[in-house]
Amino acid sequence: MKEVRVAHIEELNKTAEEFLRDLDPEEKAVVVGLSGNLGAGKTAFVKEVARVLGVTGEITSPTFVIQKNYDIDFHGFKTLVHIDAYRLEKGEDMKPLKFKDTLADKNNLVLIEWPEKIESILPKATRKIVFETIDPTTRKLTFYGKDE
């Protein structure tokens, strides 16, 4: 477990860089659940991760489309998969998006906002980042590895 306090977007960018530095492809997709209240910084973190990975254009939360994919080329990862499960009720709701195929592809880095909504179908090795609002500008991010 690792905790980081972030007060500015520049710090969030640095935190995203450090997060990515510790990731390498595995036998299947690397999955990271992003938990926290509305406005806690989950989407802002995904935006910074995408920027570090070289994604251009506007990154928005896929609240209504559920999933967006971005082409990347980073340490063996080829696709950044951004999922917002806020509107879902259960893991089975991911079936139309061929989620099993997404999980099986070792070239995928999958970031999931509101992972608790689909927890029943997430791999045991899912990493987790918990976002807490400390004050209007400060967030605490707690990182949990795949074995925690």
Among left, alpha and beta (phi > 0; psi -120 to 50; other), residue 71 is beta
Structural domains for the chain: 28-131 (3.40.50.300)
User: Which of 25, 22, 27 lies closest to 77, judged by CA?
Assistant: 25
Q: What is the pLDDT of residues 66-78, one digit of tens each?
A: 999 999 999 999 9
Q: What is the pLDDT of residues 106-143, one digit of tens each?
A: 999 999 999 999 999 999 999 999 999 999 999 999 99
Q: Tell me, letter by letter, the H, E, C secondary structure of 27-55.
A: CCCEEEEEEECCCCCHHHHHHHHHHHCCC
